[in-house]
Amino acid sequence: MQPRDLSDHVAYEAGRGIEEVARELGRDPSEFVKLASNENPHGPSPAASVAIREHASSMSSYPKAAHADLVEAIADRWGVNDEQIWLANGGDGAIDYLHRATLEPDDDVLVPTPGFAYYGMSARFHHGGVHEYALERTDDFAQTAETVLERYDGERVIWLTSPHNPSGSTMPLEEIERLAEETDEETLIVVDEAYGEFAERDSAIALLEGRDGYDARDDVAVLRTFSKAYGLAGVRLGYAVVPDEWASAYTRVNTPFAASELACRAGLAAIDDTEHVDRTVETARTSRAEIRDRIDAHVWPSEGNFVLVDVDDASSVAEKLQDRGVIVRDCTSFGLPGCIRITCGTDEETDRAIGAVNAVLADLEVDTHTEAEVPDT
Ligand SMILES: *Cc1c(COP(=O)(O)O)cnc(C)c1O
């Protein structure tokens, strides 16, 4: 037998890991820094590590109390009802739940390009079609209602990423509201705020709750994760915040025990560890500014914990950086073969990345000139 026709499906391409690269190059892992997956350079919230150790002996039980407690803590934080928090196995798991709850076979979703690959992958698993709207490099990846509406054709779900991965651009809430206003009643706008903590902006939760002068809407949902600012990428914990009107659908679409006992315990500890999040956000802001000031290439303004850099030939620059021990994300797989994405590291890591990028770009410059000077024979 064979699985279903998966020819439209592609594997998710994750950023490369230190072990993997070191093994391939026959070098010591300690020689490398990884700035390829937007992970937290300060590691997990220390309180979360303690909580995982303390609760290790409760692993044999299904997570009920911990799940309920975490949902309550998150709901309190956003001032919404518990039912509106759809806890999941990472933000990625929440993407699946939103599709399970909305897509009928042959419904379509509208996703950004360049953009986060899992929106489309997940839609296809749920028998949905995938249409794209372009964020233009020549417009600095600006996100407006108009850019999306130009391509909108009645899709069931529209994915927005704010701050956007990989460019770091954001979409103002007024534009999101306008988009929701001008699309069909049955079109859900999901605002992916995986990097929300790093931006000095209000969450789009204001739109679904009708706060700050906005009218409450039942066609906007928000995605958040513990993977980035909280440093819990390895435990897989994220959630969607959905309008109260259809929040109860969760119990009919979720995987039983959607987040693990240890993930919930880590999340409960991390959500109160504001010191760790503040420090993380501060580091990202400093790093973003340093990279923009000091790298000898165009760097787009970013509100995430990463920056997109124009290097002309991403695959060769990424490979040369790797030789120098700095692992970055080659954005060719995002459809940007001229760009690399660098995660904001600690001060030392940022310094090292800037030095390495400038050295690689200088080498390439010399190479091009040398080639150009070779006389025709
Ligand atoms: C990292 C990320 C997510 C979620 O990642 P999880 O680790 O599954 O929580 C979602 N959207 C974007 C754009 C991301 O970069």
Identify the CATH number of the domain in which residue 223 sits.
3.40.640.10
Classify residue 1: in a domain, yes or no: no
Sheet holding 188-192, edge to edge: 85-88, 238-241, 220-225, 188-192, 157-161, 108-113, 129-134
Tens digits of pLDDT across the chain (377 residues): 999 988 888 888 777 789 999 998 999 999 999 999 999 999 999 999 999 999 999 999 999 999 999 999 999 999 999 999 999 999 999 999 999 999 999 899 999 999 999 999 999 999 999 999 999 999 999 999 999 999 999 999 999 999 999 999 999 999 999 999 999 999 999 999 999 999 989 999 999 999 999 999 999 999 999 999 999 999 999 999 999 999 999 999 999 999 999 999 999 999 999 999 999 999 999 999 999 999 999 999 999 999 999 999 999 999 999 999 999 999 998 999 999 999 999 999 999 999 999 999 999 988 877 766 555 55
User: Does residue 117 have its Cβ closer than 6 Å to ligand 1?
Assistant: no
Of 270, 301, 326, the residue at which a domain comes to its end is 270
Q: What is the CATH number of the domain that holds 308?
A: 3.90.1150.10
Same domain, 250 and 310: no
* Domain end point (choices 270, 291, 315): 270
Ligand 1 atom nearest to CA at 226? 9
Q: What is the pTM of this model?
A: 0.95
Q: Are residues 28 and 138 in the same domain?
A: no
Instruction: Give the range of the structural domain holding residue 303, as residue numbers without chain letter.
Output: 18-43+274-369
Is the Cβ atom of 120 under 6 angstroms away from ligand 1? Answer: no
Quote the ligand 1 centre to 116 CA distance (angstroms).
8
Distance CA(133)–CA(86), nearest Å, equals 27
* Host H or E run for residue 319: helix 314-323
Q: Tally helices (H) and strands (E) across the chain.
A: 13, 12
Show which of 252, 270, 288 is a domain's final residue: 270
Which distant-in-sequence residues (6+ apart) come within 8 Å of 204 by Cβ? 162, 173, 176, 191, 193, 220, 222
Q: Establish whether residue 198 lines the binding site of ligand 1, counting it when its CB lies within 6 angstroms of any ligand atom.
A: no
Same domain, 115 and 171: yes
Contact, 75 vs 309, CB < 8 A? no
150 shares its domain with 168: yes
* Cα 162 to averaged position of ligand 1 atoms, centre (Å): 12
Task: Give yes or no for residue 90 CB within 6 A of ligand 1.
Answer: yes
Q: Residue 4 falls within a domain, yes or no?
A: no
204 shares a domain with 70: yes
> How far, in Å, CA of 24 to CA of 217, rounded?
51
Top mutation candidate among 165, 167, 195 for ligand 1, by most atoms within 8 Å of CB: 165
Instruction: State how many domains the chain has.
Output: 2
| Ligand 1 contact, 343 CB (< 6 A) | no
Same domain, 245 and 138: yes
Distance 90 CA to ligand 1 centre (A): 7
Q: Are residues 280 and 200 in the same domain?
A: no
The span from the CA of 244 to the CA of 209, in Å, is 9
